Amino acid sequence: MSYYVAPHQPERLFSRKSKNERDARYIAAQELACLVNDKSLRLKMPNGFSTRQLVEIQEETLMPKNKEEIFTAVETLAKLSDSKQKAQNLYKQSLEVHKNMDLLFEERLLPESDFNEIKKSLKIIRDYAVALSSYKEALPEAAKARKYLEEILELPE
């Protein structure tokens, strides 16, 4: 991907995908000419315009220095979202099957079918406990990530 700006209009970025730089410049220059002709872009070029006048910008220049920290913060919040969703989904199931755990503490004899049901219930409860624990462990790190992104985006807390 190639990125270009007109020297007289640096805030307008033209991104072009092409196999070679010459074609990409040409396509970006055509887009610029269309915008000028449509009067969508007020740009005066008294001596005309050449594709050589377009300034190429490297993709790395467009990325901030803290790109990795931003990606990590977003990834941390995505993990928190996933663990919260999983915990929420398992919460309802664990409430329903929690009563089966009480059967273990009753004095009466249980049939084999109850034991099978208890084992299934314990598996759901275990999965819920793991998901909830994962969510609680992710919270402090996610709070830092949230604060970091809010500072960058200048959002009020």
Q: Sign of torsion, CA 84 86 92 94?
A: negative
Angle at 96 between CA 92 and CA 100, to 5 degrees: 145
Q: Sign of torsion, CA 131 136 141 147?
A: positive
pLDDT digits (tens, 9 = 90+) for 5-61: 666 665 566 666 666 677 777 777 777 777 777 766 666 665 666 666 676 666 555
Judged by phi (left if over 0) then psi (alpha if -120 to 50, else beta), residue 44 lies in: beta
Angle at 67 between CA 56 and CA 13, to 5 degrees: 30
Q: What is the pTM of this model?
A: 0.52
